[in-house]
Structure 1
Amino acid sequence: MVVDLLLIALAITLDPLPVMAFVLVVASDRGARKGLAFMLGWLTCFVAVIALVLLLTGGRPPEPRSPPSTFNLVARLLIGVSLVAYGIHRGQRSGRGRTRGRSLTRVRRSPAPAPAHGPAAALPPQPERSSSLTSRVDRGSAGAAAGLAVLLQPWGLVAAGATTVVEADTSHAATWLVLLSFCLLASGTLLAAELYVVLRPAVARARLLRLRTWMQDHAERAIVVGSIVIGLWLTGRSIYGLA
């Protein structure tokens, strides 16, 4: 259970989509307070899922080869296969997107047409999507930041963590330490960004926004690789447990 939970937590904390959204939150007006609300919403999801699982199991793992144990392994197997399928699908879609992007680049490099005259020339440039998103985050409240954290949870990985927590035996103190480590590690990247904003507010905004720009260029690859690796791990572990 320990290795599985820590690997899942590592995949969650390295998921680029929540991190990129969190960077916009902490880099906005009143970013430290909104970031704290985001963190509370984020951690509440983990605590609620763990508490629900422990409530259902009574804090004791099911007996090996029992129907509940077999059902849990099958559920974990389905989650693993789903993560692999999602990673492959997203990778293929990303590859098609890069192909279209190269085609558009070649078109844009062709000789530009003559400048337009008349009403067409007076049209204002379209605002960039990122600027619009940034302005919406700036206007958002702390409650909205907490809700955004819930929406951006990687629920597939959280579900994988839930099926692993089924094996937790709360009669041992070490189990509580493992569960706490799972929550902290799964939130490690966000905690580091929040502390950076609190301790170095003057420079944190610009550096975090540059980090977000870098992450945008690598997000798809990270999601694809992370989904496939964790999916294969869960699939292999589940098949081994069922065999």
Structure 2
Amino acid sequence: MVLDLVVIALAIAVFPLSVTAFVLVLSARGGVWKGLAFLLGWLACFVAVLAVVLLGTGGKPPAPESPPSTAASAVKLAIGAGLLGYGWYRHRARRRGPEPRARRRSSSGGVMARIDRISVWAAAGLGPLLQPWGLVAAGAATVVSADLSHPSSYLVLFGYCLLASSSLLAMEVYTTFAPDSARVRLGALRSWIESHQEQALVSVALLAGLFLVSRSIQQLTS
């Protein structure tokens, strides 16, 4: 379970769409407070998903090869296959030709204008909305195996939440304590992500999908 959660958390932490959205939120007027609201909404939703799963299992992992255990592995297999398909689709779309730069700039400018005007409450709602839900669901299916009778399981779950949110937490802390430097560096990060977003999406989707498929098959056949 630990290895699965680490890989899934890393994929969530570097997911380009979430990172780009958070950079835009931090770049808006009152970005520190809006970023905090986004982060709190993100974490609240993350914890709520884990809580629902753990309440459903009672904090006790299902027996190996039992229907719940098999169902959890099957869900991860389906998500992994979906990520592979999504990554391949985006790869093929990118090879057919990049989106015109003028259109990308116009779209980015429109999004930035809208995010610049959102309220703190709207920023809090964006957190759950912009989570990579396929990866979040894969993490939830993995948490089915958590055994809360062992204190180490709490540390693992806390570490999972922290690692999955680490990129957002780092940017929020950096912007809070070094706003001028953060503005320059986050602007450069945003430009890099926008110019490499397709490659990053394809890489994250394919790597995470391949890992989930291989691990799920191993669990289903062992």
TM bucket normalised to smaller:
over 0.9
Once the two structures are TM-superposed, the CA of residue 159 in structure 1 deviates from its matched residue by 0.5
Once the two structures are TM-superposed, the CA of residue 165 in structure 1 deviates from its matched residue by 0.2
Once the two structures are TM-superposed, the CA of residue 28 in structure 1 deviates from its matched residue by 1.1
**5+ long unaligned stretches in structure 2:** none
Q: Please list the CA deviations of residues 26-67 of structure 1 after superposition, one character each: whole Å capped at 9, or x if unmatched.
A: 111111100000000111111011000000000011001111
Once the two structures are TM-superposed, the CA of residue 175 in structure 1 deviates from its matched residue by 0.5
1:136 — aligned with what? 114
Residue type of the alignment partner of 1:207: R
Q: Secondary structure at the match of 1:80?
A: helix
Matched, 1:5 2:5: yes
Residue type of the alignment partner of 2:90: R
Once the two structures are TM-superposed, the CA of residue 129 in structure 1 deviates from its matched residue by 3.0
Q: Please list the CA deviations of residues 139-187 of structure 1 after superposition, one character each: whole Å capped at 9, or x if unmatched.
A: 1101111111111110000010011000000111111101001111111
CA distance in 2, matches of 1:146, 1:97: 35
Choose 29-38 or 74-83, whichever is displaced more. 74-83
Once the two structures are TM-superposed, the CA of residue 205 in structure 1 deviates from its matched residue by 1.8
CA distance in 2, matches of 1:90, 1:194: 30
CA distance in 2, matches of 1:149, 1:51: 18
Two-structure CA RMSD over aligned residues (Å): 1.7
2:22 — aligned with what? 22
Q: Which has the larger radius of gyration?
A: 1
**TM-score relative to the length of structure 2:** 0.94
2:157 — aligned with what? 179
1:219 — aligned with what? 197
**TM-score relative to the length of structure 1:** 0.86
Once the two structures are TM-superposed, the CA of residue 25 in structure 1 deviates from its matched residue by 0.7
Residue pairs, 1:87-166, within 5 angstroms: 87-98=87-98, 128-166=106-144
**5+ long unaligned stretches in structure 1:** 106-126
CA distance in 2, matches of 1:18, 1:161: 17
CA distance in 2, matches of 1:240, 1:130: 42
Once the two structures are TM-superposed, the CA of residue 133 in structure 1 deviates from its matched residue by 2.2
2:76 — aligned with what? 76
Number of equivalenced pairs: 219
